[in-house]
Structure 1
Amino acid sequence: MDPDKFPWLDLRRYTFSMAAEQAGIVFLSGQTAAAYYHDEAKVLCKGDLIEQTNLIYEKLAVVLEAAGLGFQHVVQTVDYVDAVALPQYRQTAEVRRKYFGDSPVASTGICVERLLRPDALIEISAVAMREEKRRIDPSPQQDSGLTFAPGVEAGGIVWVSGVIGREERDGRAHYPQNSGDQAALAYAAIGPVLQAAGARASDVVKNLDYISPLAVLGYGDAAQARRGFYDGSSPACDCVVVNRLLRPEGHLEVETVAVKGSSRQDVRLPQWRFREDEPGSLADSPAAAIKGRLLCLSGQEAINHATGASVGGFDVAAQAEQAYSNISRVLAEAGYSMADVVNTVEWVAPNGLMGYRGVQEVRRKHFGEDFPAATGVVAHRMFRPELLIHVSAMAVV
């Protein structure tokens, strides 16, 4: 779903769509302030964080208009922010107010290692839905002044903003310096949002943990808190290590998506092996969770799950081939194909950037010319040091 006119870039050069729609759900690719400047004959991201954010929202507006939508249809945004831009980040709230007004949106903002374009300060992705949306807030009487809602529901799908676990002590926010305790508090905050939407933990189809580097060693405690919250109904899961969270005391930020009604189908491949004692292991999670219109896949890397061994050496394109082959295998097990994928997020390790352009050919092989929406950002590291890329995918069926 590409606009007829997109004055900033030649869209034919890229292996993703500006937006992809299926069954009334529109995923918009991550946008930076990248634009082609004829006088310099190159693509650049110019300006400070506020200027770049304004340009990104101009781009998103054009993509939404091409889909016959507006910002009143957007249910979720994710801000990927370069660490050097953090001092200005609060000021981007005014840009959001300009475009969203009083329209509620779920949102997550995290600090990445860097963006793929070295001159980019922020990248923003979005999801829009054609159905009418409503704000989900378990404490509506509290006016936080924030430019996002705790959650948004449209068409029976509940998009929950990222949550960092905290507690109030003497009227001030306190962040426990234990990953398990923080995770437990995060889930304690997510529960009431789901309840206010008429959903519960077993309705969650996707759980994404953004992990601070300081929490990597203690992530097993956080995973235990996650298992306790879902109590045997763990959804598809992703866990990625970012540069830091917007709150420096934060160990992890949890983002969830739930689907009300119907029953959830979990896709598991018995021949796949997982090491339960390995940090970042998703042994308790299904390879994919299907509920309603959404098919959410757990994150995939260059791991041969039949043996548990990593493959691809230090070739990021070869590693991407294994990750996308894993995704294709899961979809086939569920009775679907890569044509059903509407969105991917590629997390690249810093030492995988040099060969990252080669991943374009991997995407062409698996998607043909019918590309999904996509976002690519740089992670701080992978849980396994030899891994260079982590792919998160979502399909609408």
Structure 2
Amino acid sequence: MAINFSLRVLSMPSMSSMPNWMKVETNANVTFDRSYIILMVTMYTIGLIMAASSSMPVAERLFNDPFHFVFRHGIYIGLSLLIAGFTLQIPMSWWHQNSGKLLLLAIALLLVVLAVGRTVNGSTRWIVLGPITIQAAEPAKLFFFCYLSAYLVRRRDEVMENIKGFAKPLIVFGVLAMLLLLQPDLGTVIVMFVTTFGLLFLAGAKLWQFIAVATVGVGALSLLAIFEPYRWRRVTSFLDPWADPFGSGYQLTQSLMAYGRGEMFGQGLGNSIQKLEYLPEAHTDFVMAVLAEEFGFIGISAILVLSSILVIKALLLGRKAINKEKYFEGFFAYGIGIWFCFQAAVNVGASAGIVPTKGLTMPLISYGGSSTIIMTIAVVVLLRIDHELRLQSLQATSSNRKSASKSTSKPKAMSKASSKSTPEQGALDV
């Protein structure tokens, strides 16, 4: 079902000076919410600017081209928009019907990356296809949340009533988590773990089940950190990075310096010192530190507001879909909202020293092809859910109008028939 982009905008005198594309939610007949597009394009633009600002020194050293990462990120954004155009045409029923196949595809990608993936900094996370590099963990998150949403529709009563329905999706999560930990990629595992629990909670699982599984999960994550030296170093350096500022705490201390230099209004675009190869991964995992240094507290607050608006819209959309008995769409929107919220919180928290570093990108901001494309698809899914809900409301409204018009025309027909009847029949009708 194609999207009808010819929108009828309600003419309002106070908004006559505004361009049409900015008139969001002005008419009940609008078939999709353009604020999603405005948010996405705004975050794209900020991400491209920050990729240019933060990556030039390292790009000059590695490729003798300061705009290397900028051009690549621009290509990723263009490719994301192209894929978004195709994704927007896919009805939500297709996602629901093919959720199992998408889960198998996610597992296959995680197996392929372990077999033939490229290793960078001790982690095997990327599948190289010529000039294209795919990070298998990114589509795995989206496809798993799609499968989990479909499962909660099929087995919602079972999830609410007994432990078996609660445990089944956790077994699937365990398989994915094991494959991710072999890369290793603990950050993605934590994001999926939190999102899974959030969806199960919203589906009505019992509280004691959460407490029991959460205890086991937190214990397992603690053991993973304790028995893996590099993870334990991250935890200890996060607690006191200044104890070893030139060793395990180097990355975090440099990030904290960037935050400190930014103060309220920042040093200005391009004036960051930490990006001059003092701060590792400045254009990916720690792009928010560079943004904080150049735009200060105001800049960070603006990014958090944009991300919060997107998350809140996703959660409200999920509630709206549930209220209209579109349970798969509702759970999927909830999952995307929780995923965006937690990943953004971890990214900003890691660069600010609030949580240990996990190597997670900032949604729609950080440099990275796989992350940009998958996050774009997730936003487009929200746009598609909103579109289908609006079409359902429009169809219901039109059917109500038709039934109302029929009911008003019926008495007229009866009056004509009564005028032809005999007096006895008329008296009998009275």
TM-score normalised by length of structure 1: 0.28
More strand by share: 1
Q: Which gives a bigger RCO, structure 1 or 2 (Cα 8 Å, sep 6+)? A: 2
Q: Name which one, 1 or 2, has greater alpha-carbon Rg.
A: 2
TM-score normalised by length of structure 2: 0.27
More helix by share: 2
